[in-house]
A and B are shown apart, each in its own frame.
Chain A
Amino acid sequence: MATVVQPEPVAPPTYHDVTRDVAATIGHPSRGYFVLLGIVLVVLAIGASALLYQIRTGLGVAGYTPPIMWGAYITTFVFWVGIAHSGTLISAILYLFRSAWRTAVYRTAEAMTVFAVLTAGLFPLIHVGRIWYAYWLFPYPNQRQLWVNFKSPLVFDVFAVSTYLTVSTLFLIVGLIPDLAALREQATGWRRKLYEITSLGWQGTDQQWRHYTRAYLYLAALATPLVLSVHSVVSWDFAVSIVPGWHATIFAPYFVAGAIYSGVAMVITLMVPLRKVFKMERYVTVEHFENLSKLLLLTGMIVAYAYGTEYFIAWYSGNPFEQASFYNRAFGDYWWATWTMILCNGFLPLFLFFRKVRRSIPALFVLSLFVNLGMWFERFVIIVVSLSFEYEPYAMGHYTPTWVEWAILAGSFAWFFMWFLLFAKNFPTVSITEVKEIIPMPRKERAHA
């Protein structure tokens, strides 16, 4: 006779469980962790060597061929800035919407944001070649009394990306303070010293919370328009030029949606192994992944709609250069890049309409990798393919990234993962305080009832 086993109701974790479980993720790195860190450092060394080679030899070692003077570096810059966006979406925008599910995933997303901007910020410097003149990007008094051109979106970009890096770092640190205080009480040795210093004397007093909650609210309120502005500004780097394929008013919302789309995919890519290794299944549940995948579906459909609009407007505008440019995208030299982008970003996410896919963690993980790939190709298509096919047939060209560019691209992933791995073993990747906040505090009247 079959026995029916009633599943036991799962008790929500207590406050102490949360502190203990998150504290358990910190320290005691396994052999696997060191192996992973080792691989990451080797790849980083390869990327750094390629960069040193480029600095020593000159930008000629990259595959730039007129008229394609923006290539893999700018593609990768836009890719990483895009990745950064979902972190602030989850930590600031969903915070303002009082969306409770964000608490378990927001810290990972926010740390990812900071490290992605840190990675992205390197690429304009790598791209300009003479990296030692990078400070020319900023307005500073100099003997020629020259100032930067404030009418240029490239200067907007300098301000937007450096503001974004500063504000997202501040936001991450402020969020960490109460958690570090909780860890301080549990830790021993040098880590205790580290948390004593970084928790800034936090004790959770009524006065501290009074100022903290306000400050956090206003930081979120400032970060929300900031995140929307940053990728809009990045999109204007292209949209204000009269290059066919770039000169479109849809670019700002199209880029912002694409940024959040790629960022959510990266959060899934990072969260899946992290949850497994750190045994966080109790806090980061399938529901969280389902919510993330709904965000992925929504932004993916906006991106697909933007692809459609671009093609429609190219046809509807009656502009032969626009039409030729878009025909070239789909059927020209780079057709494979365009179709990779359309397949990964436009079609594969449609599987998320099925609840089974949304709730299958392996399926989501694989899908997130495809979205990451597709989003890199999207930027490649927009930048390289548009530049390769402008107005004059004699000024058309073909660009292929060289090994230096591929090595630096690989190095950028290593740089990103290095920061993330170091963060994950020394700081809480799941917010102790915010996870506690959604668990109701014990009440005496209920205990006695």
Chain B
Amino acid sequence: MSAHPSGLLAAYRHVDAAAGAIRSLKHMGYVDFTVYTPVPNHEIADAVGHPVSPVRLWTLLGGLTGCVTGFGMSMWMSYDWPLVVGGKPIGSWIPYVVIAFELTVLFGAGATILGLLYHSWRSRRPAAFDGRFTDDMIGIFVPCPVERRPAVEELLRSSGAEEVRVES
């Protein structure tokens, strides 16, 4: 048994044709299709119409955590072993800006990666795939039951798919 639901896998060479097919599919009420592109493309992204990725929230929270950690760590450690250095106050926040800044970037970048992994994992959908979609073809996989296949196939072909095959 295959890991993905049965459906139709279409391969496109032309970006406008694929974007047209996506719009038609959405018009027909399909929402659970998967689009594959070798490069990120605005036209396809606009046609699919996802909201902005929540990864940016991870960046923000990671960065703020890093900033607080940087200041908190350097301040707490300074007071934990109070030693006057160079006649400066024990907790001198001005030089600690550097530590806080570096940790902002470090935690921000780390959280961005975790966010990328988490959201890509969360939003994954079992779907048929073809290796050419990382090379030069655009793919659309539409999961659909047998009785609706002819209509979807007609849509995919008429929009300019070079190839449509049944995946079950």
Contact = CB atoms under 8 A, between A and B. Distances in A.
Interface residues of A, number: 62
Contacts of B35: 205-206
Contacts of A212: 40, 116, 120
Interface string B22-59: 00000000000011111111001100101011011001
Nearest to B34: A205
B98 to A, nearest CB: 4
Contacts of B165: none
Contacts of B86: 151
A76 interface: no
A425 B121 CA distance: 30
Given A147-B80, A206-B44, A208-B120, A443 B14 contact: yes
B97 to A, nearest CB: 10
A218 B112 contact: yes
Interface in B78-103: 78, 80-81, 83, 85-86, 88, 92, 95-96, 98-99, 101-103
A43 interface: no
B95 A150 contact: yes
Task: Output the residue of A15, A186, A210 with the most chain B CB within 10 A.
Answer: A210
B37 A209 contact: yes
A229 B101 contact: yes
B16 A160 contact: no
B107 to A, nearest CB: 9
Central interface residue in B13, B112, B133, by most chain A CB within 10 Å: B112
Please classify the interface of chain A as helix (H, G, I), strand (E, B), loop, or mixed, using the class held by over half of its residues. Answer: helix
Contacts of A156: 95, 98-99, 102
Given A207-B120, A211-B53, A222-B59, A149 B103 contact: no
- Contact residues on B (Cβ < 8 Å of other chain), bracket: 35 or more
A178 B41 CA distance: 14
B68 interface: no
B154 interface: no
B45 A206 contact: yes
Interface stretch (A78-86, A128-136, A163-171, A317-325): A163-171
Contact of B14 (A174, A223, A442): A442
B127 interface: yes
Contact of B50 (A15, A146, A167, A207): A207
B166 interface: no
A212 B117 CA distance: 9
B59 A218 contact: yes
Interface of A: 14-16, 19, 139, 145-153, 155-156, 159-160, 163, 166-167, 170-171, 174, 178, 181-182, 184-186, 200, 202-215, 218-219, 222-223, 225-226, 229, 233, 433, 436-437, 441-445, 447
Given A146-B81, A156-B102, A218-B55, 11 more contacts: A159-B98, A204-B36, A206-B36, A210-B123, A211-B53, A213-B40, A214-B53, A214-B55, A222-B63, A222-B105, A441-B15
Q: Which 7 pairs, one residue from A and one from B, show the smallest C-beta to C-beta distance? A: A185-B131, A15-B136, A147-B77, A444-B14, A441-B15, A215-B116, A214-B53
